[in-house]
Structure 1
Amino acid sequence: MNIRKATQKDFEAIELLYREADLIAYELLPSFFKHPSEFTRSRDELDKQIGDHLTEVFVAEDERGIVGLSVTVLQKTPTAFEGFVERKFAELVDLVVSTQARREGIATVLISHAENWAKQSGAESIDLTVVEGNSGAEILYHKSGYIARSHRMWKKLA
């Protein structure tokens, strides 16, 4: 397996990975996520991510092609509230592994690359969000040393 930075030539393979992830998100929380048949991701979106110095997109590639990706974004603490400790951090906004390639260690390697990039870019920590019900992701992140810092809740108003 090879981990490398994504290029525009990877768009079709990345879109297929996102389709799988979008379907899982929809199945877990249909009140929050659209069905993948209702929208498409744009090539422009990937181009912006690849061209943004605050974002890094890695792909995992093996003999099957591109089987995983991670998207990590550098951020600073919002300054709108004086009570926050100011920090520079990264957010792992996307981690996707093809359903056919799961449980092969690909996600762990992608996380490691994302963390190394974030650290080299000056981030003090890395944050991420797990969709409620995605227990496989929660287990993976706990094994990788991540701890819960908050629990976001919601209520639908009738």
Structure 2
Amino acid sequence: MQIEQLKNIDNTVLKAFKKLIPQLIDRNSYPSREELQEILQAGNTFLFIARENDEILGTLSLVVYKIPTGKKAWIEDVVVDENARGKGVAASLVYHALKVAREKGIEKVDLTSTPARVAANRLYQKLGFRKRETNVYRFTF
């Protein structure tokens, strides 16, 4: 398995996101070529994919930003195809994202995961993430 940073969006990538994103958000919605291209061009979001034998098994987004309190990073949208789960794909994606974050001078990386995703929460703790006592709020337009 190889972890790589997406540099361009081809039909294989589009097909993978069409399959993967609904497995994450539980609705049949996924980003278009233009939306993915916009993410790549933003410069502060890195899309990583796990690939094996020309098949994309999973994806992860790393968002890096600078604010007055320092450089920060979030891991978002970690999803592994249901047929590839339990094979270390998510762990490989997370380790790769952490390596990139460290290379960019980030000292702390955050992520969120709903409590219902028991296996994902167990994995993140196994990888060294610690649960924070905080409230996460969302405003929806």
- Displacement after TM superposition at 1:122 (Å): 1.8
Cα RMSD for the two superposed structures: 1.8
Residue deviations 1:105-138 (CA, integer Å, cap 9, x gap): 1111100110111111121110001123111111
Extract unaligned runs of 5+ from structure 1: 24-35, 80-85
TM-score (norm 2): 0.86
Identity %: 29
In structure 2, the partner of 1:11 is 14
Matched residues in 2 for 1:118 and 1:109: separation? Answer: 14
Count of residue correspondences: 134
- Displacement after TM superposition at 1:51 (Å): 1.6
TM-score (norm 1): 0.77
In structure 1, the partner of 2:42 is 52
In structure 1, the partner of 2:33 is 43
Matched residues in 1 for 2:107 and 2:136: separation? Answer: 26
**Structure 1 residues 151, 136: closer, same or farther in 2, change over 3 A?**
farther
**Structure 1 residues 153, 3: closer, same or farther in 2, change over 3 A?**
closer
Point out the more displaced range, 87-96 or 43-52. Answer: 43-52
Pair 1:76-2:66 in alignment: yes
Q: Which has the larger radius of gyration?
A: 1
Structure 1 residue runs of 4 or more that deviate by more than 6 Å after TM superposition: none
